[in-house]
Structure 1
Amino acid sequence: MLFKETDLPGIGKKFSVITGNKEKVAVIIHFSGKREIYFFDKNDFDEPACAFSLNEDEAAQLGSILMGTYFKPEAQDEKEMFMKNLVIEWVNVDSGSCMINKSIKELEIRKRTGTSVIAIIRNNETITNPSPDEIIKVGDTLVLVGNKEQIKRFFETFYPKCNLR
């Protein structure tokens, strides 16, 4: 990608980018905060095929989308706090498990550990949001969600001899 920065006296700066696909985009950032974005056809870098303007907030939002970090400021802190406490764990049910041939309800997984079974992977098929009456079978993979303590409690309850956690 080719990148060029040019000072525009009395206006601001111009940034021109030519991508690996030979497409050109130019961005003019005014001292006022206004942004003008110009798109050019591959065969004509002199006259823009399309142009639009953004204010500072719109430009910041578009930039975060392009960077893959789009966020809504008022909800971001809540999402980060929620995600820090969220753990998703995959648990393989082997032939020695005490859970075999018992339902989620019978095992009282949520009541005893606080974790929720959000899916069961069985024979290359996924049962999402399984019913409490779903019977756990040998070879199933349980997908659990909870916080770290709840996941730890799950292993202490259903895999007490397992010292991995």
Structure 2
Amino acid sequence: MYVKEGELPGIGKKYTVKTENGDTIVVVIHYTGKREIYYFEEDSEEPTAVIELTDEEARTLGTILVGALFQPTSDEEKIGFLMKHLVFEWVKVPENSFLVNKSIKELEIRKKWGVIVVAVIREDNVIVSPSPLFKIEPGDTLIVVGTLENVKKFVKEVEEKKG
């Protein structure tokens, strides 16, 4: 992003901001406190939008833009939250498992154990987000996600319960 500041004699200051996507925003601040915002799409000579704000309106909008009223969650914070609360587990399906030749829907995996099958590894293939009608075969590796407690229950049942 690029910002250029300039004087407008008898009027105030002008700030030109070039955005990452090539658009331009020009902000004119009058000595009276009035603000004018001009939005130019990339390679456009004429503004696409013009907004006039009072000093109070501009300060309120500025407060919003700097995040004083609301702070979006960063990707790192989101990932950290998920990593604290969710567990991913690779579950190998034994030959004699109760899962074999049954669909995800038929098994009601999400309803019974509270885990979601997010992918299945079958031989050299990875099936991402398998449909509810996807049938599980012996030797498949299910990648499931859920709380630690629910994942443990699911893994225990797969290891102990035979078909």
Q: What TM-score do the two structures reach when normalised by structure 2?
A: 0.50
Amino acid at match of 2:117: V
Q: Report the CA distance shift for 1:94/1:74 in structure 2 as closer, same or farther (over 3 A).
A: closer
Q: Indicate if the aligned counterparts of 1:86 and 1:145 stay in contact, CA closer than 8 A.
A: yes
Matches of 1:112 and 1:157, distance apart in 2: 11
Is 2:61 aligned against 1:87? no
Amino acid at match of 1:123: E
Matches of 1:73 and 1:113, distance apart in 2: 33
Structure 1 outlier segments of 4+, above 6 Å: none
Matches of 2:87 and 2:106, distance apart in 1: 23
What is the aligned partner in structure 2 of residue 112 from structure 1? 112
Matches of 2:73 and 2:126, distance apart in 1: 35
Q: Indicate if the aligned counterparts of 2:89 and 2:145 stay in contact, CA closer than 8 A.
A: yes
What is the aligned partner in structure 2 of residue 3 from structure 1? none
What is the aligned partner in structure 1 of residue 147 from structure 2? 147
What is the aligned partner in structure 2 of residue 159 from structure 1? 159
Q: What TM-score do the two structures reach when normalised by structure 1?
A: 0.50
Matches of 2:130 and 2:77, distance apart in 1: 31
Report deviation, 1:92. 0.7
Amino acid at match of 2:96: G
Report deviation, 1:158. 3.2
Q: Indicate if the aligned counterparts of 1:113 and 1:157 stay in contact, CA closer than 8 A.
A: no
1:14-41 CA-partner distances (Å, limit 9, x unpaired) = xxxxxxxxxxxxxxxxxxxxxxxxxxxx
Secondary structure (helix, strand or coil) at the match of 1:143 reads: strand
Is 2:121 aligned against 1:121? yes
Structure 1 residue runs without a partner (length 5+): 1-71
Secondary structure (helix, strand or coil) at the match of 2:110 reads: helix
Alignment of 1:15-164 (within 5 A): 74-75=73-74, 76-160=76-160
Q: Indicate if the aligned counterparts of 1:99 and 1:107 stay in contact, CA closer than 8 A.
A: yes
Q: Indicate if the aligned counterparts of 2:115 and 2:144 stay in contact, CA closer than 8 A.
A: yes
Secondary structure (helix, strand or coil) at the match of 1:106 reads: helix
Amino acid at match of 1:125: N
Matches of 2:73 and 2:142, distance apart in 1: 34
Aligned positions, number? 91
Amino acid at match of 2:142: L
Report deviation, 1:146. 0.9
Bigger-Rg structure (1/2): 2
